[in-house]
């Protein structure tokens, strides 16, 4: 839809810089797939990774929180890239809380070796179950 975009949440911060780079690449590939489908998506990781790296900015959710909230608030919904680390991510936990407060839809997407990216209904169901506790 013209004028609408979805906010892509994905895990990022990690003690190992190689893991952070790998997570950035996965978010980039997912963002690329959405754009190829003509589905507008915004990824704070894709948008800010090179900036944070080249300008030596902090790479944690505390520093980026206000910026991410501003972008999420303007979005049509939240999509979580359910890759390794998403369940432990403090940033994703915060983004989910904001999305609930804003009454935004939350979807989950996983990488499929054959189909590109697809919705992950099992991850969504598990998330909702944990949230209700």
pLDDT grade for 114, boundaries at 50, 70 and 90: very low
C-alpha to C-alpha distance for 3 and 6, rounded to whole angstroms:
11
C-alpha dihedral over 33, 6, 21, 23, to 10 degrees? Answer: -80
Q: What is the pLDDT of residues 30-56, one digit of tens each?
A: 999 888 888 899 999 999 888 888 888
Q: pLDDT confidence of 113, banded at 50, 70, 90?
A: very low
Q: What is the mean pLDDT of residues 8-22?
A: 93
CATH of 6-132 among 3.40.50.10400, 3.40.50.920, 3.10.20.30, 3.40.50.740: 3.40.50.10400
In terms of DSSP H, where are the helices of 74-133? 90-101, 121-132
The residue ranges of every structural domain in the chain are 6-132
């Amino acid at each position: 839809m013209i004028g609408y975009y979805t906010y892509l949440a994905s895990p990022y911060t990690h003690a190992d810089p190689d893991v952070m780079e790998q997570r950035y690449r996965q978010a980039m590939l997912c963002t690329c797939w959405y754009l190829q489908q003509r589905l507008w998506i915004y990824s704070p990781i894709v948008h800010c990774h090179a900036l944070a790296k080249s300008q030596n900015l902090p790479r944690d959710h505390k520093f980026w929180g206000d910026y991410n909230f501003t972008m999420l608030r303007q979005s049509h919904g939240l999509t979580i890239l359910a890759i390794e680390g998403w369940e432990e991510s403090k940033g994703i936990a915060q983004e989910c809380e904001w999305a609930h407060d804003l009454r935004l839809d939350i979807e989950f997407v996983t990488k499929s070796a054959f189909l590109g990216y697809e919705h992950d209904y099992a991850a969504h169901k598990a998330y909702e179950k944990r949230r209700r506790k």
